[in-house]
Amino acid sequence: MTHSHEPLLRVSDLTMMYGDRVGCRNVSFELRPGEVLGIVGESGSGKSTLLRSIAARQEPTKGTVEYHTRIDGIRDVYQMSEAQRRLLMRTDWAFVHQNARDGLRMNVSAGANIGERLMAVGDRHYGNIRNAAENWLGKVEIATERLDDLPSTFSGGMQQRLQIARNLVTSPRLVFMDEPTGGLDVSVQARLLDLLRGLVHDLNLAVIIVTHDLAVARLLSHRLMVMQNGQVIESGLTDQVLDDPQHAYTQLLVSSILQN
């Protein structure tokens, strides 16, 4: 069991180069259980590169990502075997994509999308799996009578909520989110944000969320990292960073939002 004073995740000196081009450079931070970290910055600043490198989706050029696993204690995720890393990614970790289609299987039912992740961790009891799927549809505010429908018959907001249910059914402790409300109508975004905030709080999830939307960052994150040209130029408590930005770039980012 992880004690709350121990970090769940430790990222040290993470650098990702694409040839000569910097994706992200020298990023270090720790994340505790239940903590929500927002990564903000303009397009091309390295947010997605950093997220992918932390989430074991793209091996960095340099640096380490250590995670406090339930079974083996602290492990460097890039030193794990492929099988161990895959297991981690579909049990204790989750990844919510901006485009729900990237995180769902569109040719199987909503219920199967949720159940599949449970089966991947060894659950074989059909009744239990169906109950869990129904339960999770309810939690993400989708009518349970839609259990056997294909995700392609869902609205964009419903697909995103289904993706969240599929991700959370295995009770992960760390969730990566890449612009989870991007591409949705403003009213749909607000409802989704509300739902996410409730789930993150109720399930005590640690989250790393990439967003270019400072309002989303403010609502969900405890702490913020501001990126520019692949580097973290400012970090701190969300309210501190947004209300009293120290770096000129952060000041510009905050004031440009306020003017809109």
Ligand X SMILES: Nc1ncnc2c1ncn2[C@@H]1O[C@H](COP(=O)(O)OP(=O)(O)OP(=O)(O)O)[C@@H](O)[C@H]1O
Identify residues 208-247 at the interface with ligand X (CB under 6 A): 212
- CB of residue 41 vs ligand X: minimum separation in angstroms? 6
Is residue 49 within the footprint of ligand X (CB under 6 A)? yes
Is residue 5 within the footprint of ligand X (CB under 6 A)? no
**C-alpha separations of 174 from 32, 177, 205 in Å:** 10, 10, 6
> What 3-state class would DSSP assign to 30?
strand
Cβ atoms of 72 and 258 closer than 8 Å: no
Cβ atoms of 36 and 180 closer than 8 Å: no
Q: Which stretch binds ligand X (CB under 6 A): 40-48, 101-109, 183-191, 213-221?
A: 40-48
DSSP 211: -
Determine the Cα–Cα distance for residues 13 and 28; give it in Å rounded to an integer: 5
Determine the Cα–Cα distance for residues 59 and 76; give it in Å rounded to an integer: 12
Please, which residue, 43 or 187, has the CB nearer to ligand X?
43
Q: Which stretch binds ligand X (CB under 6 A): 47-55, 166-174, 216-224, 232-240?
A: 47-55
- CB of residue 133 vs ligand X: minimum separation in angstroms? 32
> What 3-state class would DSSP assign to 44?
coil
Is residue 46 within the footprint of ligand X (CB under 6 A)? yes
The residue from 7, 8, 9, 23 that contacts ligand X (CB under 6 A) is: 23
One-letter amino acid of 68: H
Is residue 15 within the footprint of ligand X (CB under 6 A)? no
DSSP 247: S
Determine the Cα–Cα distance for residues 115 and 128; give it in Å rounded to an integer: 9
Please, which residue, 23 or 111, has the CB nearer to ligand X?
23
Please, which residue, 40 or 77, has the CB nearer to ligand X?
40
The residue from 32, 47, 173, 218 that contacts ligand X (CB under 6 A) is: 47
Binders of ligand X: how many residues, by CB under 6 A?
12
Is residue 45 within the footprint of ligand X (CB under 6 A)? yes
Tokens 């397009």 sit at which residue?
A: 43
The residue from 44, 138, 183, 198 that contacts ligand X (CB under 6 A) is: 44
Please, which residue, 59 or 244, has the CB nearer to ligand X?
59
DSSP string, 113-135: HHHHHHHHTT---HHHHHHHHHH
Determine the Cα–Cα distance for residues 99 and 94; give it in Å rounded to an integer: 15
Is residue 191 within the footprint of ligand X (CB under 6 A)? no
Please, which residue, 50 or 118, has the CB nearer to ligand X?
50
Q: Which stretch binds ligand X (CB under 6 A): 39-47, 62-70, 132-140, 241-249?
A: 39-47
> What 3-state class would DSSP assign to 250?
helix
Is residue 18 within the footprint of ligand X (CB under 6 A)? yes
Q: Which residues in this chain contact ligand X in the complex, by CB under 6 A?
A: 18, 21, 23, 41, 43-49, 212
